[in-house]
Amino acid sequence: MEAKKYKSFRFKNSLAWSSGRRGRTSAPGKREMDIGSPPEFKGEPGVWSPEELFVGALNGCLMLTFVAMARAKGLQFVAYESTAEGLLENVDGKYRITEVSVAPSLVLRSETDLDVARTIMDHVEENCFISNSVTAKVKLAPQFEVGST
């Protein structure tokens, strides 16, 4: 039996230091953005920090995984909003993000969609490329409601 062949993909980033604790970052064809140390570590407010981008990448990946799985199952939904919070802790002398709590809030079109939406959400974390790439514990606490926005 031959193993299924999967493609590999490469994602690039470029970065240039601006001044102080701040730089400009970009990816091919993407809008440049500032990146800097957070105020907690002597950086400036108003600039995305690596920690915030990390939490945002995870929150976004979980949503996009849900979207992809929903499409595959023919589930349409009205709205998806999500808040996430990463905990940066010092463990054995090293700071790392140990835990990310993610609270997606979904609005579905009808009661009959609830089961399939819950089933998809149960499998989102194991299919999310970013949650598969981090050591943090991901705590997913989804909420579902039926209605229109």
Closer residue to its own copies in complex, CB, 72/111: 72
Q: Among 101, 141, 100, which Cα is nearest to 121's?
A: 141
| Min dist. Cβ of residue 27 to its own copies (A) | 4
Binding mask 23-62 for its own copies (x = CB under 8 A): x-x-x-xxx-x-xxxx-xxxx-xxxxxxxxxxxxxxxxx-
Indicate the DSSP class of residue 40.
G
Query: Residue 17, interface with its own copies (CB under 8 A)?
Result: yes
| Min dist. Cβ of residue 140 to its own copies (A) | 13
Residue list 94-113, contact with its own copies (CB under 8 A): 94-97
| Min dist. Cβ of residue 142 to its own copies (A) | 13
- The only residue of 69, 121, 130, 140 in contact with its own copies, by rule CB under 8 A: 130
Closer residue to its own copies in complex, CB, 9/111: 9
Task: Specify whether the CB–CB gap between 22 and 46 falls below 8 A.
Answer: no
141 to each of 101, 105, 127, how far by Cα in Å? Answer: 8, 9, 16
Task: Specify whether the CB–CB gap between 74 and 136 falls below 8 A.
Answer: no
Burial class from Cβ neighbours inside 10 Å (0-12, 13-18, 19+) for residue 72 reads: exposed
* Segment lying near its own copies (by CB under 8 A), choices 79-87, 109-117, 139-147: 79-87
| Min dist. Cβ of residue 131 to its own copies (A) | 9
Do strands 94-108 and 137-140 pair parallel, antiparallel, or not at all (unpaired)? parallel
